[in-house]
Amino acid sequence: MSEKSPGEVVTSADLEAERLLSDGLAGLCPGARVVGEEAVSADPGLLSGVGEGLVWLVDPLDGTANFAAGKALFGMMVALVEDGVPQMGWILDVVTGRMCFAEAGKGARIDGERITARNTGAHQPVAALGTHFLEPHRREQVHAHAYGRLQRVSVPRCAAESYPRLVLGENDIALFQRSLPWDHAAGALFVNEAGGRVTHWDRSPYRVGGSGTGILAASDVHLWEVGAQVLLGPEAGLVKMEELVR
């Protein structure tokens, strides 16, 4: 295990899994290039044009820090994206073998069975707020504004776990600050195809390589509206007022 950047670790499992996945995907779809998390870490230029044409996005081990710490909150994520729009996505829970899959316009499945997102049914929406990378004062502002409006729960620090929780009735809302494409393309498609809603903080539809920052996801449209009212309004401090009215 080594540190590829401050607070970001990489293991031999990440590197080997990405090599195997990239080799296998390279021949599946003529004209598509493969963009993997670890390859981009070594050569950031590979992200150039990621929102153009056909691209395979690979996160070989999402939740590496959990994996390294012996926590069973990690998974593998692969997405096929065309001109920034996810077309297919796979999320594998390596520990249990659970496979989440979605195809644009054709719904979402878990282990081959069609699934529709369900919410928790809680009086206050259950929200996992990924604010770890925010400046301390902004993080405090977000949580202070959410207090009493959302039932905040711990964040798994693993998008491969966060997105399925929205579909399986474990969480209602998820907020992400970072929008690295391999972390979100498969999960955003999975939640959207299951009947949920995933957008950037400026409320534009999720896409890879666009100008939108941050991500708000919810298990249904109503809960997304509740989350947006609490988290994307000016009081929470995440977006500028002009971004809300443009």
**How far is residue 185's CA from residue 141's CA, in Å, rounded to a whole number?**
28
Q: Identical fold at 2-115 and 126-245?
A: no
User: Is the distance from CB of 184 to CB of 159 less than 8 angstroms?
Assistant: yes
Instruction: With H, G, I as helix, E, B as strand and everything else as coil, classify residue 95.
Output: coil
245 band by pLDDT with thresholds 50, 70 and 90: very low
Residue range 128-142: mean pLDDT, rounded: 94
User: Is the distance from CB of 172 to CB of 224 less than 8 angstroms?
Assistant: no
pLDDT in tens, 32-42: 999 999 999 99
**How far is residue 191's CA from residue 70's CA, in Å, rounded to a whole number?**
27
239 band by pLDDT with thresholds 50, 70 and 90: confident
CB pairs under 8 A, 24+ apart, for 23-29? 25/56, 25/58, 25/78, 28/56, 29/54, 29/56, 29/80
Half-sphere CA count of 117, side-chain side, radius 13 A: 32
Does domain 126-245 bear CATH number 3.20.20.70? no
Would you kindly state where each structural domain of the chain is located, as residue ranges? 2-115, 126-245
Pick the CATH number of 2-115 from 3.20.20.20, 2.60.120.260, 3.30.540.10, 3.40.50.1000: 3.30.540.10
pLDDT in tens, 76-102: 999 999 999 999 999 999 999 999 999
The alpha carbon of residue 168 and the mean position of all alpha carbons in its chain are separated, in whole angstroms, by 15
**Per-residue buried b or exposed e for 191-228, using 16+ beta carbons within 10 Å of the residue's own CB:** bbbbbbbbbbbbeeebbbbeebebbbbbbbeebbebbb
Please tell me whether the overall predicted TM-score, pTM, comes out greater than 0.95 for this model. no
243 band by pLDDT with thresholds 50, 70 and 90: low
246 band by pLDDT with thresholds 50, 70 and 90: very low
Could you tell me the two tokens for 200?
Answer: 């950037």
Element (H, E) at 10: strand 8-10
